[in-house]
């Protein structure tokens, strides 16, 4: 994919991208590197060695925004040493703040909104060669969403974006404002992408979208259940995952596909509840009650008793009383999630929740978050104990991050398993005996 300016915009210069936030951002970073390498830029291993630094930012909560700003500050000495160094802010903070960032911080040379990734090489040409200092934050809300997945050296497991943006407007969430209106990629393009990744050795794809369940092919080929079915039935991919599923749109049709293609889709579902209180769910504009959520989870568990669930939870949303919070704890006790990703509510610009009265004091949010983490920790040993002693199929992903002699992989339940094994096992699906189960990782053993 060369820009109009030809393939040598980079002239061998180096780029370092620092990534915050979700899997979508990680995947976007890989796309940026791929596009840039096609234009003769080279990835730098450290910011200190780079001619261009890009911060691919996240603005879903306030903390990551502060982190982005303080990271930029750390580059001041570098910029003084290397006046030609260019620093850009990409991702959701870039989209949200736009030109303001350039005004606020002279260290920043360019701002790249979430819709401008594919013109990054041209932007760098303008920034470096034409000395333009600008923000590219236009979002095309209507045009088609058609791309090729760009991954330089695909690993065992790869991401594939199926939708862009979000139309749900949960009252706490900035994403509909930073990623724009929801668009879906064409069905055939996605199947082509998955087949191409399979041809390059990929064994597992994770289909990505803010709400994958509202995927709808623009060519009328179908919705999310059809896509899942086709990816499982019409490609040779061995495992398929997807995230994020919105509980309001998770239905029996998706569940039926999950059951029919369990051999590929496994036994795992991330279904963010956000709260266990129907009152809070309503003011979050989530579109379901506690009871409706529980019904869906019960249907999932009844259809597949192996199913491992995970969730996102927000504590301290405006108006959340101790009673509402207790209902969240009781939801955790009832469902017994394998993983809970818990956050303190963080007021975000543009969102409806900003106008809600009755904010929860910071110290109460802190206390509730701590209590929720401790509560989940108290449930976790029993939840994971069921894996001990079993033989589970593990897709081997590669050496573990902490010990190169140890391999790591994941079960069909998305549980991480660490074990001793030879590197030629990477990419294989292997039965492993689980010797020890801890909440975040299992210890396995190759069966002789
Ligand atoms: N405050 C706290 N957590 C939030 N999330 C999204 N917006 C906010 C916010 N304003 C959490 C939700 C979502 C996850 C990706 O981030 O739980 O599912
Ligand atoms: Fe945000 Fe809700 Fe959309 Fe998820 S579904 S991205 S929480 S608005």
**Ligand 1: residues within 6 Å at CB?**
60-61, 172-173, 272, 274, 312, 314, 343, 345-346, 348
Residue 57 C-alpha to ligand 1 middle, in angstroms?
15
Contact 29, 17 (CB under 8 A): yes
- Whether residues 21 and 131 share a domain: the answer is yes
Per-residue buried b or exposed e for 325-359, using 16+ beta carbons within 10 Å of the residue's own CB: bebbbebbeebebbbbebbbbbebeebebeebeeb
Give domain status of residue 88, yes or no. yes
- Whether residues 326 and 398 share a domain: the answer is no
Give domain status of residue 8, yes or no. no
pTM of the model: 0.94
- Whether residues 306 and 252 share a domain: the answer is no
Give domain status of residue 260, yes or no. yes
- Whether residues 65 and 119 share a domain: the answer is yes
Looking from the CA of residue 312, the nearest atom of ligand 1 is: 17
- Whether residues 220 and 282 share a domain: the answer is no
Q: Which of 329, 322, 355, 319 is nearest to 275 (CA)?
A: 329
Give domain status of residue 207, yes or no. yes
Ligand nearest to the CA of 343: 1
Residue 413 C-alpha to ligand 2 middle, in angstroms?
24
- Whether residues 131 and 59 share a domain: the answer is yes
- The CATH code of the domain that includes 50 is 3.40.50.12160
Residue 301 C-alpha to ligand 2 middle, in angstroms?
24
Q: DSSP strand E in 217-352: where?
A: 239-243, 268-270, 308-315, 339-344
**Ligand 2: residues within 6 Å at CB?**
166, 168-170, 173, 175-176, 210-211, 246
Q: How many independent structural domains does the chain possess? A: 4
Q: DSSP strand E in 133-182: where?
A: 134-136, 157-161, 163-164
- The CATH code of the domain that includes 416 is 2.40.50.140
Give domain status of residue 405, yes or no. yes
Residue 3's pLDDT is 54
- Whether residues 350 and 241 share a domain: the answer is no
Distances (CA, A) of 433 to 220, 240, 365, 395: 45, 23, 41, 13
- Whether residues 30 and 120 share a domain: the answer is yes
Residue with tokens 């190759």: 446
Give the closest residue (by CA) to ligand 1 atom 17.
312
Q: Which of 136, 171, 197 is the last residue of a domain?
A: 136
Residue 298 C-alpha to ligand 2 middle, in angstroms?
23
Put residue 220 in one of left, alpha, beta given phi > 0 → left and psi -120 to 50 → alpha: left
Give domain status of residue 145, yes or no. no
Domain enclosing residue 223, as ranges: 155-266
Looking from the CA of residue 210, the nearest atom of ligand 2 is: 6
- Whether residues 183 and 276 share a domain: the answer is no
Give domain status of residue 144, yes or no. no
- Whether residues 126 and 235 share a domain: the answer is no
- Whether residues 371 and 414 share a domain: the answer is no
- Whether residues 409 and 319 share a domain: the answer is no
CB-based contacts of 378: which residues, under 8 Å, 6+ apart? none
**Alpha-carbon dihedral of residues 247, 253, 255, 258, nearest 10 degrees?**
-130
pLDDT tens, position by position, for the chain (448 residues)? Answer: 445 566 788 889 999 999 998 899 999 999 999 999 999 999 999 999 999 999 999 999 988 788 888 999 999 999 999 999 999 999 999 999 999 999 999 999 999 999 999 999 999 999 998 889 999 999 888 888 888 888 999 999 999 999 999 999 999 999 999 999 999 999 999 999 999 999 999 999 999 999 999 999 998 889 999 999 999 999 999 999 999 999 999 999 999 999 999 999 999 999 999 999 999 999 999 999 999 999 999 999 999 999 999 999 999 999 999 999 999 999 999 999 999 999 999 999 999 999 999 999 999 999 999 999 999 999 999 999 999 999 999 999 999 988 888 999 999 999 999 999 999 999 999 999 999 999 889 999 999 7
Residue 2's pLDDT is 45
């Amino acid at each position: 994919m060369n820009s109009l300016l030809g393939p040598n915009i980079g002239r061998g210069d180096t780029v370092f991208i620092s990534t915050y936030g979700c899997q979508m951002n990680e995947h976007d970073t890989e796309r940026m590197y791929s596009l840039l390498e096609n234009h003769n830029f080279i990835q730098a291993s450290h910011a200190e060695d780079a001619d261009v630094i890009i911060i691919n930012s996240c603005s879903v909560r306030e903390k990551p925004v502060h982190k982005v700003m303080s990271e930029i500050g750390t580059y001041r000495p570098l910029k003084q040493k290397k006046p030609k160094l260019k620093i850009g802010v990409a991702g959701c903070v870039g989209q949200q703040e736009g030109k303001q960032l350039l005004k606020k911080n002279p260290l920043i040379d360019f701002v790249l909104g979430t819709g401008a990734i594919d013109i990054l090489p041209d932007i760098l040409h303008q920034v470096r060669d034409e000395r333009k200092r600008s923000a590219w934050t236009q979002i095309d809300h209507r045009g088609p969403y058609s791309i090729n997945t760009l991954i330089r050296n695909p690993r065992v497991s790869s991401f594939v974006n199926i939708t862009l943006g979000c139309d749900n407007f949960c009252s706490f969430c900035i994403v509909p404002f930073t990623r724009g209106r929801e668009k879906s990629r064409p069905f055939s393009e996605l199947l082509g992408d998955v087949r191409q990744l399979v041809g390059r050795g990929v064994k597992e794809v994770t289909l990505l979208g803010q709400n994958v369940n509202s995927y709808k092919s623009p060519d009328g080929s179908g919705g999310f259940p059809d896509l899942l079915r086709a990816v499982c039935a019409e490609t040779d991919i061995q495992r398929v995952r997807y995230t994020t599923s919105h509980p309001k749109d998770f239905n029996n049709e998706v569940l039926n596909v999950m059951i029919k293609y369990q051999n590929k889709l496994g036994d795992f579902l991330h279904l963010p509840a956000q709260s266990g209180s129907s009152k809070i769910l309503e003011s979050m504009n989530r579109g379901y009650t506690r009871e409706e959520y529980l019904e869906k989870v019960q249907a999932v568990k009844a259809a597949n008793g192996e199913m491992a669930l995970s969730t996102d939870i927000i504590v301290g949303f405006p108006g959340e009383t101790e009673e509402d919070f207790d209902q969240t704890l009781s939801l955790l006790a009832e469902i017994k999630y394998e993983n809970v990703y818990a956050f303190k509510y963080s007021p975000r610009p543009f969102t409806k929740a900003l106008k809600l009265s009755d904010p929860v004091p910071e110290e109460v949010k802190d206390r509730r978050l701590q209590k929720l983490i401790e509560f989940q920790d108290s449930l976790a040993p029993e939840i994971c104990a069921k894996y001990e002693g079993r033989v589970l199929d593990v897709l081997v992903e590669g050496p573990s991050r902490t010990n190169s002699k140890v391999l790591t992989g994941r079960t069909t339940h998305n549980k991480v398993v660490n074990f001793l094994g030879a590197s030629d096992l990477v990419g294989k699906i292997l039965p492993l005996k689980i010797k020890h189960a801890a909440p975040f990782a299992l210890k396995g053993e190759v069966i002789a």
